Structure 1
Amino acid sequence: MVWIIGANGMLGSQLCSTLSENKIDFVGTDRNVDITDFDSLKDFSGGKKITAIVNCAAYTAVDNAERDIELAQKLNADGPRNIARLAKIMGVPLIHISTDYVFDGSSTSPIGEDEPIKPLGVYGKTKAGGEKAVQEETEDFYILRTAWLYGFNGKNFVYTMIRAMNSRESVKVVSDQRGTPTNCATLARVILKIIQIRSESQLTDRKIPNGIYHVTDEGETTWFDFTNEIKKQADKKGLLTNEKCVVNPCATEDYPTPAKRPAYSVLSKKKIQQTLGIALPTWEESLSAFINSPLFDKARIQ
């Protein structure tokens, strides 16, 4: 049985669906089990035949974290430490989700897993703390760094921009930050693959080395170009009610936020693709799959 922590969130809910579709037994928890309380985690796990833990829980409000430092620290660093400690005691692997925000954005080419981290703000620093805590508490871990996530459940950039374009004459979008939009479904499939290989490892010689892996869709773009692709695909699908909306580029300095964003956060996926023997979709393909899915919630763009 796989234990999904943060099961009600955007990634967690997608992972629940992915495991269910592949007939993998799982149990999900969210705020009903406090990850900042080790005893709460331990009590829940008691008597359950858990074979792997996936931690999707996190404080993800990047700007709010700048003033909500204590809570961000508890959820992004202290909580993962408790989960990793319990995974070690239980003798099960931990798959922990991290972020591109552990980097400062100074790179100019896809970032490898071994490159030094240098987070800019509270969110990135606490997520880096979570990575460190996991590595200190257990040896059997997979830290998956991802970026620019969107999915069917919860707020995300795709829903937000279609709604904005449907209600305004123009929108301004940052054009000097480069990264890779990532459909939650892509990350969920990678997690599924790791779980499947681990469960079959007793019958085969195939192993997945523990460590840090980067997982996003393929390619790179800016928020501005991402928005234009959203506009094109949404229009094709008949989701755009205001085709005259103009998408204008702006610089990061023209759109100030409490938390500083990395200017370049494209992650290299060579390691995960070679390790699992998989190909990742392009971000354009994943966006199309999202917009054309029957699960796309039209109520969120009105």
Structure 2
Amino acid sequence: MKIFVTGISGQLGYDVLEEGKKRGFDIVGTSSKELDITNKQAVKNYITSVNPDVIIHCAAYTAVDKAEEERDICYNVNVNGTKYLAEAAAELQAKFVYISTDYVFDGQGNQPFKETDKTNPIGFYGETKLQGEQEVQQLLEKYFIVRISWVFGKNGHNFVKTMLRLAESNEIVSVVGDQLGSPTYTVDLANVLLDMIQSEEYGIYHASNEGFCSWAQFAEAIFEMESKATAVNAITTAEYPTKAKRPANSKMDKSKLAEVFAILPTWQDALSRYLKELQ
């Protein structure tokens, strides 16, 4: 089985490639430097030359606030790029994994969102990721759409690294306390994706580490595990205005993933392993 991964300079793509190598898979990947996924002909030529059995599409435009201004760029990467890759997969009859997001939901209510719940993105980034899902569903039969949330990994920027940096020079850090979701370690995510592609259990899945928290609670856990004296001041979303709206409820129901594949470890367990990896 030959696996091709996009977005290997990002957090998830990097770990999919690394974990795939550890498992002994025939796995290769690209970043935007080697392949511009918004160039249809380049995508076709590249994928044809690699000739993979599976494409794991991790590349995305993920700057949520910037997306509100750079709409053309965001759309081009998240919708057109996904479409071109899915078309190439269709020609080769390759399995396709599309990484989507909790931002396809509006964040209303308190219940965790199921895969079958109505999507209703409240920002442009979420809109484009949903349109990417729709392209995949229209073009392919052998697909896995995996919605993820609040990722942290060794390669790239994330909330954990930001908090550790802020702790170096701040006694108190203000963090949003009224948005709830699940932090997700890219190593755990990468391994579940590598399990998925060895199956025929196609469809939409929600995948994140177990348990829910707010961003403020997440920050508290980071400081506690790293023995930082920094205190967390939980503020409201209204007190921290951003260009893009964010869902207040990013909780996702992962019972389908648990039934078909596996339950991911708790986010606290994942965070503890990640902080060791960073050292």
TM-score (normalised: structure 1): 0.90
Aligned match of 1:258: 243
Once the two structures are overlaid, the 10-residue window that deviates more, 44-53 or 182-191, is: 44-53
Aligned match of 1:139: 141
For 2:127 and 2:45, the matched residues in 1 are separated by 29
What CA RMSD, in Å, does the superposition of the two structures yield over aligned residues? 1.0
Q: Is the 8 A contact 1:60 1:123 kept in 2?
A: yes
For 1:14 and 1:48, the matched residues in 2 are separated by 20
1:279 shift after superposition: 2.4
Report the AA paired with residue 18 of structure 1.
Answer: E
- Secondary structure in structure 1 of the residue aligned to 2:174: strand
Q: State, as a whole percentage, how many aligned pairs show the same letter.
A: 38
- Secondary structure in structure 2 of the residue aligned to 1:292: helix
1:7 shift after superposition: 1.3
Spell out the pairing of 1:26-175 with structure 2 (5 A cutoff).
Answer: 26-31=27-32, 32-175=34-177
Aligned match of 1:13: 14
Is residue 267 of structure 2 the alignment partner of residue 283 of structure 1? yes
Report the AA paired with residue 209 of structure 2.
Answer: D
Report the AA paired with residue 219 of structure 1.
Answer: G
- Secondary structure in structure 2 of the residue aligned to 1:84: helix
1:214 is aligned, of 206, 214, 225, to 206
1:281 shift after superposition: 0.4
1:45 shift after superposition: 2.2
Q: Is the 8 A contact 1:16 1:28 kept in 2?
A: yes
Between Structure 1 and Structure 2, how many residues are aligned? 277
Aligned match of 1:228: 220
Larger radius of gyration: 1
Q: Is the 8 A contact 1:88 1:137 kept in 2?
A: yes
For 2:259 and 2:81, the matched residues in 1 are separated by 31
For 1:47 and 1:10, the matched residues in 2 are separated by 25
1:272 shift after superposition: 1.2
Q: Deviations over 1:212-246 (max 9, x none)?
A: 100000010000111000011111xxxx4xx2x22
Q: Is the 8 A contact 1:80 1:134 kept in 2?
A: yes
For 2:76 and 2:49, the matched residues in 1 are separated by 27
- Secondary structure in structure 1 of the residue aligned to 2:50: coil
Report the AA paired with residue 271 of structure 2.
Answer: L
Aligned match of 1:204: none
Q: Is the 8 A contact 2:177 2:217 kept in 1?
A: yes
Which consecutive segments of 4 or more residues in structure 1 shift more than 3 A? none
Q: Is the 8 A contact 2:48 2:88 kept in 1?
A: no
For 2:86 and 2:109, the matched residues in 1 are separated by 30
Task: Provide structure 2 residue ranges, at least 5 long, that are not aligned to the other structure.
Answer: none
Report the AA paired with residue 106 of structure 1.
Answer: Q
Q: Is the 8 A contact 1:107 1:265 kept in 2?
A: no
1:165 shift after superposition: 1.3
For 1:220 and 1:267, the matched residues in 2 are separated by 9
Task: Provide structure 1 residue ranges, at least 5 long, that are not aligned to the other structure.
Answer: 199-206
